[in-house]
Structure 1
Amino acid sequence: MPTPPQSLFGGPRTLYRGTNIDGATIEPNEGLWVRGRNLNDLIGIVDFPTALWLAWFGSLPTPTESQAVDAVLVRIASHLSQAPAYRRGIEAVADSGAGIVQAAACGLLGDLAALENIALIEATARGLPTHLDFIQGLVSVASTPHFLHAALGYAACGAASTQHAEAVLTAMGAPHIDSLSVRVVDALLVAWHAGFGYITPTVLVPRTAIGTGVTLAQAVAAGFMASGPNHVGAAEEAMTWLKTISAHASLADIRQAVDHELDQPGNLLFGFGHPLFVQDPRPPHIRTLFAEWGFGGRYLEIFDVVCAHVLERKGLRPNIDFITAAALLDLGVTQARWGVGLGLCGRVAAMVAHAIERRDRPAFGVNSKAARKLLATVPVGWL
């Protein structure tokens, strides 16, 4: 691994800038790291509850601990599906014309005490940690797919799930749920869950918000509100575009559709390029895993053709949004807004970890003397 950066204020060296949770490395070794582990070494290898534990505690859980976390998440989700009161505020906001993310965030602002009590009882019975941060974090994670589902105005899911990834699949309306589809969703959740440190808006905003003294759930809600077409939401745009390509389109037709988008003045395809990386390291790894697992349909075939043509035309490579879009469509998810929804279902794990890490620091993250020194070194226009 590259030499860790020196702290700006002369403190001890840390693996990542500003946090020990996760972060990116750039040239010559572009990569995403969580607690010292390459994210690609986790994607497809561990499930989401295992990745969540690693991000929160800094070590891998035992199989028993991972299974227990999954069971608690499922139990919380089961209670949510039987308690329509949690949906009413979300549905009312959605009916007013708000988007899926804005409406879902409102669910995190309600009274979650009953859910926290269920999580506490389940965690105690299964020998898991029982401190409030852990309990509230589990509630945020388990509630996210349910709140997003409610924001779309659908009736509560009736079928009980046995795994968190299955609950996400059910919320997204996937028509067929089997071990392979659960494995695919687990891989996507892990790919989205962490790796960029504090640099992404959906993590930076919760870190900033909790410094003002808000609750953990409110900090996570703030992170939801930081997603948009240029961050997390590009998968929604990519799904919408992919759906315009006929299932019977020839290779020439697909390339022509790409040319049409790229030839528009100032236009690029959503899901290509990356603000930090020359090549997002996740899509090639995920595409290889899908091939090895025998997963894929018409949209991953289109994905391959589009990627090759965009690389030829513009020298751009796909990011996590584009392969997420293709995978969701091949899973049978038809609602494009789940492009952003899936990303948030994964990213909430990092929001929780970073908000907790940041909470006990001063309101501006450092003391006054350090803040003044930092401000003097930041280029004009950085933020």
Structure 2
Amino acid sequence: MSDQEKKTGRERGEEWWSTEIIEMRPGMIRLRGYDIRDLIGRISFPATIWLMLRGELPSDEQAELLGIALGAAVDHGPQAPSIAIARMAATCGVGINSAMASAINVLGDVHGGAGEQALAFFGDIAAAMDGGRSLEEAVRARLEKFFAEEKGYVPGLGHRFHPIDPRAPRLLELVREFAARGVIDGRFAAIADAVEAEVARLKGKKIPLNIDGATAVIYGELGFPPPLTRGLFVLSRSVGILAHAWEQSQQPDRNKGPLPREWLWAYKGQPKRSLD
């Protein structure tokens, strides 16, 4: 009989959802080994996020920089698909949780995933530098590959509304401040600057870093892997989603669709025809 077969039903049940994240039993909760009573009131929400995801507590400055990135991307207005969906869902009579879930479910590759893509792109360049290439060589090679094999926009650059995304320069300014203090090394900021400069050279015009690229820089500097970047964006944008869902729920609109009632869609199908 194998060791697995010798285990009791309770032992198998306890192993079924084994986790290193939380230990809990009546009267006791520990997160990553820390008693919840010791954490409450002593560490910030960004520090709690870090602890849950990474297993160890960050420094105060690391937690501060993480909070800065999370705070920068909370909202971009009702024209953003996720926010519009949250508001429409709220008018359909569902609760806050359903309105938020409806919105969060559309944070995919096109709307919400650009930060992950940007950090993966910057990470490819960092890996090439680790392999011995200079920053300029690594950036040039990655962009050549992108334009030869991939489609769309260079991740982390450009914005369909803002000629210059007002959030990005401020975030990069803060990244440089934290690098000067030794909290981070500034490597991903240098990569982002070099990508922006090389794209400007190739295109003949500057396409500035956007919020996704700027937050990707911060998450990269703090050591988060690209897939977690999307999850962190979901956490951030959930704040705006909640605010809009709540605001809409307090208004009298019912079944509020994407257009005012007096505006209808363009029909481009068959003209009127008779069944006979």
For the superposition of Structure 1 and Structure 2, which TM-score range results when normalised by the shorter chain?
0.7 to 0.9
Name stretches of at least 5 consecutive residues in structure 1 with no aligned partner: 1-79, 85-155
Preserved contact between residue 282 and residue 320 of structure 1 (Cα < 8 Å) = yes
Residue 338 of structure 1 corresponds to which residue in structure 2? 228
Shift of residue 379 of structure 1? 6.9
CA radius of gyration, larger in: 2
Residue 364 of structure 1 corresponds to which residue in structure 2? 255
Deviation digits for residues 72-120 of structure 1 (CA, Å, limit 9, x no counterpart): xxxxxxxx94569xxxxxxxxxxxxxxxxxxxxxxxxxxxxxxxxxxxx
Which residue, out of 195, 208, 215, partners 1:306? 195
Shifted more, 159-168 versus 206-215: the winner is 159-168
TM-score normalised by the chain length of structure 1: 0.53
Which residue, out of 143, 147, 171, partners 1:258? 143
CA distance in 2, matches of 1:191, 1:379: 37
Residue 67 of structure 1 corresponds to which residue in structure 2? none
Preserved contact between residue 261 and residue 268 of structure 1 (Cα < 8 Å) = no
Distance 1:174 1:239, change over 3 A: farther
The alignment yields a C-alpha RMSD, in angstroms, of 2.8
Pairing of 1:235-314 with structure 2 (within 5 A): 235-245=115-125, 246=127, 247-248=129-130, 249-250=133-134, 251-264=136-149, 266-294=151-179, 295-314=184-203
Shift of residue 322 of structure 1? 1.3
Q: How many residues align?
A: 225
CA distance in 2, matches of 1:187, 1:379: 43
Instruction: Work out whether 1:324 is the aligned partner of 2:215.
Output: yes
Shift of residue 291 of structure 1? 1.2
Preserved contact between residue 171 and residue 215 of structure 2 (Cα < 8 Å) = no
Bigger relative contact order (CA 8 A; separation at least 6):
2
SS at match of 2:71: helix
Name stretches of at least 5 consecutive residues in structure 2 with no aligned partner: 1-20, 26-30, 269-276
TM-score normalised by the chain length of structure 2: 0.72
SS at match of 1:328: helix
CA distance in 2, matches of 1:193, 1:330: 20
Distance 1:174 1:322, change over 3 A: farther
Preserved contact between residue 175 and residue 218 of structure 2 (Cα < 8 Å) = no
Residue 45 of structure 2 corresponds to which residue in structure 1? 164
Distance 1:282 1:291, change over 3 A: same
4+ residue segments displaced more than 4 Å: 80-84, 378-381
- Identity over aligned residues, as a percent? 23
Shift of residue 326 of structure 1? 2.1
Preserved contact between residue 172 and residue 333 of structure 1 (Cα < 8 Å) = no
CA distance in 2, matches of 1:308, 1:380: 44
Instruction: Work out whether 1:220 is the aligned partner of 2:100.
Output: yes
